[in-house]
């Protein structure tokens, strides 16, 4: 998996446990799928998963990790074996992300570029193409020189950046007995209005940080469109042009209300944290329109930038971080009996409703 701000790695056991408590659950919509870490876990439990995310790189990850089934693994191994033999080919990507900026060494940049060009020359179906792109994306992530996001790069090469780029084979899961997984690339409210399942898992952005801006290189790697870029970070110009109500303090409440109202599901599980634009009471009020709400919480370390501290543009430390932990909330909507023992086993605390 790529390094990802807001990853639910620690919460995955709790998410799976809560969904397992829902009666007659066969299918789940993951409306903001990101790296598909949650989608992988849900598929591994046997549920049919419908992934969705607005970004191209996220849909690519979802196809590779969730839609692609175990029975096609031999095809993927042959494909990646061929790609490992490709020669480096420095060009636009290497110039922008290795010379004009320093995300990758020029040697690894040229390998990334050579492999990416070869993928476009091959006659691949959508699933195999996504497997190849995901293997390349994750290989590049293992040799980047950042703190985990692509807002900036390190002044000196990270030790991992000096390692050679290596593609890894995928580890696909068997297809769910409830049906083949799906991956969509829709705005969240559009997806809510068009996808159907038993449960919806929602992990929306909760503040101003946009995933496209934090992972713009992966978007470019997937689209391979040589976009106009700006700033020292060489971001896609799209990063400052595309807006989302979910990243807006004035817009997020209405967006959440519309999304929750439109969902064609029986149950909802919503992940949000206490640093978001919506507080716990507001979320409970919005979600209670769909049924009874159980609020379950646990402490969680803040994002990596909080550990690094606050610096000015020249890299000088100019402030201190107020806290290193926040509270992650899971809101379970619907008439579900969740035993206290299950909550204890995954480190969740049941909160009294404020609505």
Taken in order of first residue, the domains within the chain and their CATH numbers are: 1-62+175-205+244-355 (3.40.50.150)
- Give residue 1's pLDDT: 84
Which residue, among 82, 334, 330, 302, has the nearest Cα to 202 in the 3D structure? 330
Tell me the range of 43-52, 233-242, 272-281 where mean pLDDT is highest.
43-52
Scan for tokens 């690094």, then name that residue.
308
The angle at the Cα of 111, spanning 108 to 117, to the nearest 5 degrees, equals 140
Q: Which residue has the higher pLDDT, 50 or 241?
A: 50
- Give residue 316's pLDDT: 56
Span 42-67, mean pLDDT? 98
Provide the Cα torsion 43, 70, 191, 201; round to 10°: 10
- Give residue 154's pLDDT: 96
- End-to-end Cα spacing for the chain: 38
- Give residue 200's pLDDT: 98
Does 278 score more than 70 pLDDT? yes
Least confident piece of the model among 183-192, 212-221, 325-334, 340-349: 325-334
Least confident piece of the model among 130-144, 307-321, 333-347: 307-321
CA–CA distances in Å: residue 263 to residues 62, 187, 197: 20, 13, 9
Query: Which residues in 166-266 belong to E strands, given as ranges?
Result: 182-184, 199-202, 229-230, 235-236
Percent of the chain with pLDDT over 90: 81
Does 209 score more than 90 pLDDT? no
Query: What letters, b where the CB count within 10 A reaches 16 and e where it falls short, cover 213-246?
Result: bbbbbbbbbbeeeebebeeebbbbebbeeeebbb
pLDDT band at residue 355 using 50, 70 and 90 as cut-offs = low
Cβ atoms of 27 and 50 closer than 8 Å: yes
Does 136 score more than 80 pLDDT? yes
Half-sphere exposure of 200 (CA within 13 A, CB side): 27
- Give residue 354's pLDDT: 57
Token pair for residue 50? Answer: 């419908």
Longest CA span, the chain: 61
pLDDT band at residue 311 using 50, 70 and 90 as cut-offs = very low
pLDDT band at residue 306 using 50, 70 and 90 as cut-offs = very low
Query: Which residues in 213-266 belong to E strands, given as ranges?
Result: 229-230, 235-236
pLDDT band at residue 2 using 50, 70 and 90 as cut-offs = confident
- Give residue 323's pLDDT: 44
Span 222-240, mean pLDDT? 95
Cα–Cα distance, 100 to 94 (Å, whole number):
9
| pLDDT tens track for 154-194 | 999 999 999 999 999 999 999 999 999 999 999 999 999 99
Span 283-295, mean pLDDT? 97
């Amino acid at each position: 998996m790529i390094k990802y701000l807001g990853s639910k790695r620690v919460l995955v056991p709790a998410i799976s446990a809560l969904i397992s408590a829902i009666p007659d659950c066969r299918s789940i919509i993951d409306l903001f799928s990101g790296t598909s870490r949650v989608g992988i876990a849900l598929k591994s439990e046997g549920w049919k998963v419908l992934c969705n995310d607005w970004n191209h790189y996220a849909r690519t990850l979802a196809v590779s990790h969730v839609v692609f089934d175990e029975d096609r693994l031999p095809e993927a191994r042959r494909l990646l074996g061929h790609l490992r033999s490709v020669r480096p080919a420095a060009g636009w990507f290497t110039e922008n992300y290795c010379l004009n900026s320093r995300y990758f060494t020029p040697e690894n940049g040229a390998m990334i570029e050579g492999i990416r060009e070869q993928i476009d020359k091959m006659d691949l179906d959508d699933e195999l193409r996504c497997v190849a792109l995901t293997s390349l994306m994750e290989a590049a992530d293992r040799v980047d020189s950042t703190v985990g996001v692509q807002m900036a790069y390190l002044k000196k090469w990270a030790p991992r950046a000096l390692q050679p780029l290596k593609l890894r084979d995928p580890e696909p899961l068997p297809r769910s007995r409830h049906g083949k997984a799906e991956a969509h690339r829709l705005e969240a409210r559009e997806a809510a209005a068009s996808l159907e399942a038993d449960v919806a898992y929602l992990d929306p952005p909760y503040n101003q940080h946009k995933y496209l801006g934090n992972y713009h290189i992966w978007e470019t790697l997937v689209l391979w469109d040589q976009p106009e870029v700006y700033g020292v970070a060489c971001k896609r110009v799209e990063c400052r042009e595309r807006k989302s109500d979910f990243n807006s303090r004035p817009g997020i409440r209405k967006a959440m209300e519309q999304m929750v109202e439109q969902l064609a599901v029986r149950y909802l599980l919503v992940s949000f944290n206490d640093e978001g634009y919506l507080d716990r009471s507001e979320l409970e009020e919005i979600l209670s329109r769909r049924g009874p709400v159980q609020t379950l919480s646990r402490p969680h370390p803040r994002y990596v930038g909080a550990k690094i501290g606050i610096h000015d543009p020249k890299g000088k430390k100019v402030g201190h971080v107020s806290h290193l932990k926040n509270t992650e909330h899971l809101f379970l909507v619907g008439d579900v009996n969740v035993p206290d023992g299950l909550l204890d086993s995954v480190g969740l605390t049941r909160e009294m409703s404020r609505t």
